[in-house]
């Protein structure tokens, strides 16, 4: 009887602990990883690192000097192949970071090709290989699916004047939209794929910066009208978009005159006291700009596309950046679409309805990412593939942000909205109380703010 009581007293806490860990693994994966996953993975990594590298083909034959020293000084007849040197091992709240020094004969592509085998060998959710500097790579392991429930990293300090953390990468780091590195971008995705969520997070981040936001939403402003307190200009019809784009090109030309007068080639080289605010142009559903019904509409379309291409080709130096969004974007939209897409070097592609759209988005910059786009499940809105012309790409997911929350952020930072004289006629008028503006008559620009 005593033994039974003792077993009961010992087993009950153990069962409770096991149940608690099981619950944490499902409901609180960060807690489970910190308590169980990280220690186990570190031990597994330390114990089988050399054998894993050897099996995965990530070892090289030692140099003649090393072989000579092993045979003659260490008195060992067998000379083992050399794996990458482990320089640093660091645990995080989502995984494990390992910095490796590659020996002569190995390159980062070799380690990248073996990432799936390394994932299985060490029992982690994913392994991402990043080249940090010549001869060094970092293995970014995640202990669980960080994209299942997105939690952005706590430390999100801006690394530049035009950087916005928008989403979470599958390696646990923040996906940052850096306009100085990638000035223009294209976002694609089918309905209910999370495309609007991505735009909300982008606008919410930009609203906090001293930049001018210009909206073009030809769906009568249903997506962007809530951002009106933070917008320097807003067009909600193709007619208004036509005039607004003309104004932006005029703004660009005025800024080029300023750059020439100061003898500099870039907006950021101007003295701070004369430097105009950077401008981010948000184009929602770009296909609406390409649709035509009459000959007059076709002339307007050609003019708008030409202006967008001019902005894409030259506006970066003047501090004007494009964010173009749509469901499809290819030559089937009409003349000029391919030329415009070539200027949009940043690509973010959510779930799409066909392979051709995936190839339009990332096929020209990262062909191996097309398959990943096509496997995005419909029950995970916000998951996307992000890449640029450097050839690098990764899976990301944006955190949940409602339209009301994004509108509230825009209203909070409305005092940062700069005036753009070239497009002042399209500045949305806010009623008393700062709410979003009411409808604007079709074909007429919004009156200037008093």
What does the pLDDT look like over 307-356, one tens digit per residue? Answer: 999 999 999 999 999 999 988 876 667 677 888 888 998 999 999 888 88
Low-confidence ranges of the chain (pLDDT < 50): 1-4, 6-12, 14-15, 438-450
Q: Output the CA–CA distances (angstroms, integers) from residue 350 to 19, 223, 407, in the order listed.
A: 37, 18, 23
> pLDDT at position 449, please?
38
DSSP per-residue letters across 345-402: -EEEE---SSHHHHIIIIITT-GGGHHHHHT--TTSTTEEEEE-TTS-EEEEEPPP--
> pLDDT at position 328, please?
80
> pLDDT at position 218, please?
87
Structural tokens at position 417: 């909205």
> pLDDT at position 76, please?
60
> pLDDT at position 445, please?
42
> pLDDT at position 72, please?
57
Sheet with 231-235, side-by-side order of all strands: 174-178, 163-169, 393-397, 383-387, 346-349, 185-188, 320-326, 279-284, 212-217, 231-235
Closest CA relative to residue 99, chosen from 107, 89, 91? 89
> pLDDT at position 14, please?
44
CA torsion 361-363-366-371 (nearest 10°) is 90
């Amino acid at each position: 009887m005593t033994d039974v009581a003792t077993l009961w007293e010992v087993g009950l806490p153990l069962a409770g602990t096991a149940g608690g860990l099981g619950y944490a693994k499902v409901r609180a994966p960060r807690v489970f990883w910190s308590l169980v996953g990280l220690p186990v993975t570190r031990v597994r990594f330390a114990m089988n690192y050399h054998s894993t590298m050897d099996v995965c083909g990530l070892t090289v034959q030692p140099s003649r000097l090393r072989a000579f020293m092993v045979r003659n000084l260490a008195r060992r007849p067998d000379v083992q192949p050399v794996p990458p040197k482990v320089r640093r091992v660091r645990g995080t709240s989502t995984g494990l970071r390992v910095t490796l020094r590659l020996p002569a004969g190995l390159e980062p592509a070799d380690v990248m090709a073996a990432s799936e085998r390394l994932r299985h060998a060490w029992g982690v959710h994913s392994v991402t290989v990043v080249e940090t500097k010549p001869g060094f790579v970092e293995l970014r392991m995640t202990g669980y699916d960080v994209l299942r429930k997105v939690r952005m990293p706590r430390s999100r300090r801006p690394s530049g004047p035009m950087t916005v953390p928008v989403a979470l990468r599958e390696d646990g780091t923040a996906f940052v939209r850096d306009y100085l590195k990638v000035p223009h971008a294209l976002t694609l995705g089918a309905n209910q794929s999370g495309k609007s969520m991505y735009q909300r997070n982008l606008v919410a981040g930009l609203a906090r910066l001293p930049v001018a936001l210009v909206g073009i939403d030809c769906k009568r402003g249903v997506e962007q009208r809530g951002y009106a307190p933070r917008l320097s200009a807003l067009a909600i019809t193709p007619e208004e978009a036509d005039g607004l784009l003309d104004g932006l090109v005029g703004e660009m030309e005025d800024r080029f005159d300023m750059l020439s007068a100061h003898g500099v080639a870039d907006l950021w080289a101007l003295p701070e006291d004369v430097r105009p605010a950077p401008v981010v142009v948000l184009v929602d559903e770009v296909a609406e700009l390409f649709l035509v019904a009459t000959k007059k509409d076709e002339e307007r379309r050609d003019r708008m596309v030409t202006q967008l291409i001019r902005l894409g080709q030259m506006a970066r130096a003047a501090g004007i950046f494009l964010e173009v969004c749509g469901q499809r974007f290819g030559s089937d939209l009409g003349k000029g679409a391919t030329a415009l897409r070539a200027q949009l070097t940043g690509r973010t592609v959510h779930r799409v309805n066909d392979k051709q759209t995936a190839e339009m988005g990332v096929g020209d910059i990262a062909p191996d990412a097309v398959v990943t786009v096509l496997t995005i499940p419909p029950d995970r809105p916000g998951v996307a593939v992000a890449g640029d012309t450097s050839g690098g790409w990764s899976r990301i997911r944006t955190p949940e942000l409602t339209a009301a929350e994004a509108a509230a952020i825009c209203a909070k930072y409305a005092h940062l909205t700069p005036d753009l004289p070239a497009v002042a006629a399209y500045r949305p008028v806010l009623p008393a109380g700062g709410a979003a503006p009411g409808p604007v008559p079709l074909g007429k620009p919004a009156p200037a703010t008093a």
